[in-house]
A and B are shown apart, each in its own frame.
Chain A
Amino acid sequence: EAGVTQFPSHSVIEKGQTVTLRCDPISGHDNLYWYRRVMGKEIKFLLHFVKESKQDESGMPNNRFLAERTGGTYSTLKVQPAELEDSGVYFCASSRLNRDGYTFGSGTRLTVV
């Protein structure tokens, strides 16, 4: 089966601009998660979708971040407006069942300059 796909792999944007990251989970995986790793820190949870519903978005840093999963398939994570501290690697993961094995995408490396 195809893995979790993230696009783009890299993005460099200026402070104040908008960026949208996309994640295509494994087909049939109802659970989709966003995580991010900022420089020098551990990977941290952002939010969790079950199908198209947000199960938990407690990890979202602020209202400049908006995640959607219309139709319960792919998901987007929009950052608007981007700030310097948003730079990092954004990972998406999916699983068939909650508590099931996670499959991670390769991540999107976001650099805000």
Chain B
Amino acid sequence: KNQVEQSPQSLIILEGKNCTLQCNYTVSPFSNLRWYKQDTGRGPVSLTIMTFSENTKSNGRYTATLDADTKQSSLHITASQLSDSASYICVVTGDSGYALNFGKGTSLLVTP
């Protein structure tokens, strides 16, 4: 069973709207949690990284939250743009620090 679960699997929203993507994990011990954006045919690109002590991190229109007690994270996208269409992947690193545990990703489509 995967240690990182994401929801929804896919999402379609209108340009300009907000959306929130969810990530639940069971990786333990925990080192950090990252959100990546992966455009089609490209490698994942880091959006945010949070450690145990951080509960929110912003990067432009992207805001990630982390609740280490419940082992949940969310990625909120504000005022979506067509270029936000991509797969958003939640990645959790255990205490070893190097092996990344990936979720399957949420496929987001922003339509005009």
Give A residues with C-beta under 8 Å from B: 4, 31, 33, 35, 41-45, 48, 55-56, 58-59, 91, 93, 98-99, 101-102, 104-107
Contact = CB atoms under 8 A, between A and B. Distances in A.
B97 interface: yes
Given A99-B31, A101-B49, A45 B99 contact: yes
Contacts of A101: 46, 49
B104 A42 contact: yes
A43 B31 CA distance: 19
B98 A99 contact: yes
A45 to B, nearest CB: 5
Of B2, B45, B100, chain A has the most CB atoms within 10 Å of the CB of: B100
Contact of B97 (A35, A99, A106): A99
A110 B87 CA distance: 20
Interface residues of B, number: 24
Contact of A104 (B44, B98, B101, B105): B44
Interface of B: 2, 4, 31-32, 36, 41-46, 49, 89, 93, 96-105
A107 B97 contact: no
Secondary structure call for the A interface: loop
Contacts of A43: 44, 89, 100, 102
B98 A4 contact: no
Nearest to B103: A42
Given A45-B99, A48-B98, 4 more contacts: A42-B103, A99-B98, A101-B49, A105-B43
A35 B4 contact: no
B99 A59 contact: yes
